[in-house]
A = this chain, B = another copy of it.
Amino acid sequence: MAVKTLSFFEKLRRTLIGAPIHTARAHHEKLSPLLGLPVFSSDALSSVAYATEAILLILILKGREALSLQFPITIAICVLIVIITISYTQTIYAYPKGGGSYIVASDNLGTTPGLIAGAALMIDYILTVAVSISAGVAAFVSAYPDFHPYLVEASIVLVIIVAWMNLRGVRESGAVFAVPTYGFIVGVMAMLAISMWKVHVLGMPVGAQEVLSDKAGKEASFLLIFIALRSFAAGCTALTGIEAVSDGVQSFKEPAAKNARIVLLRMTGLLLVMFIGIGYLSQHLPKLLLYTNKNPEYRTLTSQIASFAFGPGSIGFLYVQFATMAILVLAANTAFADFPRVASFLARDGFLPRPFARQGDRLVFHNGIIVLGLAAAALVWIFQGELDRLLPLYAIGVFTAFTLSQAGMVAHWRKLKTPGWQRSMAINIIGTVLTGAVAIVILATKFFEGAWIAAVLIGLVFGLFKAVKVRYLAMAKQLAMDDAPMKLASKHTSLLLMPRVHKGIVKALNYAKTVDPNCIAMHVTLDERTLPQVRRDWDRYGLGVPLVILNSPFRSLIRPVLDYVDELREQDPDQMLTVIVAEAVSSKWYQRLLQENVAAQLKIALAQRRNVAVTSVRYFLD
C-alpha cells in the first residue's frame, strides 16, 4: 500500500498501534507441543496462585479447626480436573478446527444453549482479566508492601497496558509466551521441592502452626458442610482455562489433535502437582497469614511458601513473585485473545453488532479488545481489586460453559455414532453430570457472595444477543429486495447555504449548479445590517441563481434552514433535496478551531427528515 499523506491522527494512531498488517500474514505460526503449552496453559496454571488461598479464606470463617478440610477438598477438585481433562480430549478429536463451548453447544444443542454458553464465556473472560491482574498485582505487593496503597491504580494501568499490547496485535507467539510460563513452572517446582525438603528432611516447623487472620471464626455458626461446599466452590477457580487447548486445536502442528492432546495432558499434570503441592505445604508452614488483599498486612499464600523456601526477601523469593505476576498477566492476555474471538463468532452470526466481527488493520478484533479492557477495568474499580470479592463471581461462567459444552458432546456422539461412540459418550455424560452439579454447588453456595451478579450478567448478555438478532432480522427484512415497486424521488432540488459571497461560496455555487441547474441559494439573516451588501454581491456573482432570504428571529443559523426545507417538502413530499454547505478547510488543527462546522450541525439537525441529503463542498485555505 502506497501511503501518500498521513493525517495527524493517523500518525498518532500508527505510533500507538502500529502500521496496518496485510491479511496474508494471518495465521502463520503452527505450534509444537513444547511451544503450545505456554500459549494455552497460562490461564489454567496461573490459577494455582489464588485457588488454595481462596479455599482457606472460606474455611477460616468456620474457625481454625476447619482448615484441616483444605487438603481433602483440594484432592476432590483434582479428581474433577482429571475427569474434565479426559472429557476435553474427546472434544479435541471431534473438533479439530477448534471446539469452543459456543461452537460445540450451538452445533449440537441448538442456538439458545449456544448463546448461553457464549454469554457465560464472555462474562468469564472479563473476570479472568480482572482476577488475574488483581492477583498479579497482589503477588507484586507481597514482595513490595509499600505499593499496597496503589493496588487498584496499578491493576487498572496493567489492564490498559495489556489491552494496548493486544490492540497492537501481539501474536500468540510461542517463544514469547514460553519464558514466563516455563519460568513460573520452574520457580514453583523449585519452591515446592525446597519446602518439602525443609519440612520432611530438615523437619523445620516444630509445634502447632500459628494462623493469623482477621476472619477466623466469623461464620462459626454456619453448618460445616455448607462452609466445606463453599470452599470447594471457591477452589474450583483452579479449573478456569482448562478448556483453552480444545479451543485452539487448529493452531498446532500436524498431527494437530494429537499434539493438542499431549499439551492438555501435560498441562493437567503440572496443574495437579502444583495445586496439591501448594495445598499440602499450606498446612506445614510454621506461620500462616490469612488476610484479604484489602489488608495492608496481606501476603499471598504463594509468597509465604516462597518466603519459607528461599528465605524472606531473597532472590528466590523475588523470582517466584515476579514469575507469578508474569504468568497472571499472560493469563489476562489470553482472555484478550479469546473474548474478541468469541465476540467475532457471535457478531458474524448476528448476535452482536457487526463491528465486533471486523478485524482492524492490525489483524485483531479491536472492538472486542476495547470492550473487554473497559469492562475489566470497571470491574477492578468497582471491586477495588479485592480478590475475595471478585472470586465468587468467577467460575460460575466457566462451569456453565463446561456443562453446555459437555452436553453438546453427548449429543454429538449420539448423532454421529462414530466407532467407539458409546465409550466417548459415557465419558462426556459423566463430565456433564459432574460439571453441572458443580455449577449448581457454586451458584448455590456463593449466590449471595456475588455469584448472583455473574448470573444476572450472563442473563443480560444473553438477552442482548437475542435483541441484537431480532433487530438485524428486522433490518434485513425491511431492506430485502422484492418485486414491489419502490417509491423513488420524483424531482431533485439543491439548496446552497450562502452566508456571504466569497471564493469558497463561488466554488460551492458552481457545484450546486452542476448537480442541479435549477438550484436555489439561501441566506440566513443573522445581522440585518449586512443584508444590502449580501444582495449586491449576489447580484454580481450569483450566476443568476435565485437567493432566498430567511429571517432568524431566534438568531439560529440552523432553524430557518430546517423550516425552509420543511416548507419545500410539504409542497412536494416526493422530491429529493440536497443542502449544500461550503466549508473552509485549514491545514492546521488549531486554525480549524476558528471555524464553525455548520455542515455537521445541519446534518444532525436534518437527520430525521426523509429525502434530504447534506453535501459539504470544501474550499482550502493556505
Using a CB–CB distance below 8 Å, which chain A residues touch chain B? 1, 4-5, 7, 20-24, 353-355, 358-361, 363, 468, 471-472, 474-475, 478-481, 486, 488-489, 492, 501-504, 506-507, 510-511, 514-516, 526, 537, 541, 553-556, 559, 563, 566, 576, 578, 584-586, 591, 593-594, 596, 603, 607-608, 610, 612-622
Whole-angstrom CA separation of A621 from B472 in the bound complex: 11
Q: Do A358 and B555 form a contact, CB below 8 Å, given A353-B593, A471-B591, A481-B537?
A: yes
Q: Which residue of B lies closest to A1 (CB)?
A: B554
A464 CB to closest chain B CB (Å) equals: 11
- Asked if residues B510 and A481 are in contact (CB atoms below 8 Å), the reply is no
With a cutoff of 8 Å between Cβ atoms, the chain B residues found around residue A622 in the complex are 474, 478
- Asked if residues B566 and A4 are in contact (CB atoms below 8 Å), the reply is yes
With a cutoff of 8 Å between Cβ atoms, the chain B residues found around residue A559 in the complex are 1, 20, 361
- Asked if residues A613 and B615 are in contact (CB atoms below 8 Å), the reply is yes
Whole-angstrom CA separation of A302 from B492 in the bound complex: 72
Q: Do A478 and B503 form a contact, CB below 8 Å, given A360-B555, A591-B471, A607-B618?
A: yes
Q: By CB atoms of chain B within 10 A, which of A360, A541, A614 has the most?
A: A614
Whole-angstrom CA separation of A21 from B613 in the bound complex: 29
Of B361, B472, B502, the contact of A554 (CB 8 Å cutoff): B361
Of B354, B613, B619, the contact of A618 (CB 8 Å cutoff): B613
Copies of this chain in the oligomer:
2
27 A-B interface contacts by CB (under 8 A): A1-B553, A1-B563, A5-B608, A7-B607, A20-B559, A22-B553, A22-B554, A23-B555, A353-B593, A353-B594, A354-B596, A361-B555, A361-B556, A475-B594, A478-B503, A478-B622, A479-B503, A479-B584, A480-B503, A481-B501, A481-B506, A486-B507, A489-B510, A610-B618, A613-B615, A613-B618, A614-B616
Whole-angstrom CA separation of A481 from B509 in the bound complex: 14
Q: Which 6 A-B pairs have the closest CB atoms?
A: A479-B502, A515-B515, A20-B554, A615-B615, A492-B514, A488-B510
Q: Do A475 and B607 form a contact, CB below 8 Å, given A358-B555, A503-B486?
A: no
Whole-angstrom CA separation of A489 from B512 in the bound complex: 12
Q: Which residue of B lies closest to A566 (CB)?
A: B4
Whole-angstrom CA separation of A618 from B617 in the bound complex: 19
With a cutoff of 8 Å between Cβ atoms, the chain B residues found around residue A515 in the complex are 492, 515-516, 578
Q: Which residue of B lies closest to A24 (CB)?
A: B553
- Asked if residues A613 and B616 are in contact (CB atoms below 8 Å), the reply is yes
Whole-angstrom CA separation of A501 from B596 in the bound complex: 36
With a cutoff of 8 Å between Cβ atoms, the chain B residues found around residue A585 in the complex are 607-608
With a cutoff of 8 Å between Cβ atoms, the chain B residues found around residue A617 in the complex are 613
With a cutoff of 8 Å between Cβ atoms, the chain B residues found around residue A586 in the complex are 475
A538 CB to closest chain B CB (Å) equals: 11
With a cutoff of 8 Å between Cβ atoms, the chain B residues found around residue A593 in the complex are 353
- Asked if residues B22 and A621 are in contact (CB atoms below 8 Å), the reply is no
With a cutoff of 8 Å between Cβ atoms, the chain B residues found around residue A468 in the complex are 594
- Asked if residues B621 and A475 are in contact (CB atoms below 8 Å), the reply is yes
With a cutoff of 8 Å between Cβ atoms, the chain B residues found around residue A360 in the complex are 555
With a cutoff of 8 Å between Cβ atoms, the chain B residues found around residue A578 in the complex are 515, 615
A476 CB to closest chain B CB (Å) equals: 8
Whole-angstrom CA separation of A196 from B607 in the bound complex: 69
A571 CB to closest chain B CB (Å) equals: 16
Q: Which residue of B lies closest to A501 (CB)?
A: B481
Of B7, B608, B616, B619, the contact of A608 (CB 8 Å cutoff): B7
- Asked if residues A514 and B489 are in contact (CB atoms below 8 Å), the reply is yes
Whole-angstrom CA separation of A1 from B590 in the bound complex: 36
A55 CB to closest chain B CB (Å) equals: 42
Q: Which residue of B lies closest to A23 (CB)?
A: B553
- Asked if residues A503 and B481 are in contact (CB atoms below 8 Å), the reply is yes
A496 CB to closest chain B CB (Å) equals: 12
A356 CB to closest chain B CB (Å) equals: 11
With a cutoff of 8 Å between Cβ atoms, the chain B residues found around residue A504 in the complex are 479
With a cutoff of 8 Å between Cβ atoms, the chain B residues found around residue A621 in the complex are 474-475, 478-479
- Asked if residues B507 and A481 are in contact (CB atoms below 8 Å), the reply is no
A526 CB to closest chain B CB (Å) equals: 8
- Asked if residues B541 and A481 are in contact (CB atoms below 8 Å), the reply is yes
Whole-angstrom CA separation of A503 from B514 in the bound complex: 27
Q: Which residue of B lies closest to A537 (CB)?
A: B481
Whole-angstrom CA separation of A613 from B614 in the bound complex: 10
With a cutoff of 8 Å between Cβ atoms, the chain B residues found around residue A618 in the complex are 607, 610, 612-613
- Asked if residues A486 and B472 are in contact (CB atoms below 8 Å), the reply is no
A147 CB to closest chain B CB (Å) equals: 27
A422 CB to closest chain B CB (Å) equals: 38
With a cutoff of 8 Å between Cβ atoms, the chain B residues found around residue A608 in the complex are 5, 7, 585
A536 CB to closest chain B CB (Å) equals: 12
Q: By CB atoms of chain B within 10 A, which of A355, A360, A361, A474 has the most?
A: A361
With a cutoff of 8 Å between Cβ atoms, the chain B residues found around residue A353 in the complex are 593-594
Whole-angstrom CA separation of A481 from B536 in the bound complex: 13
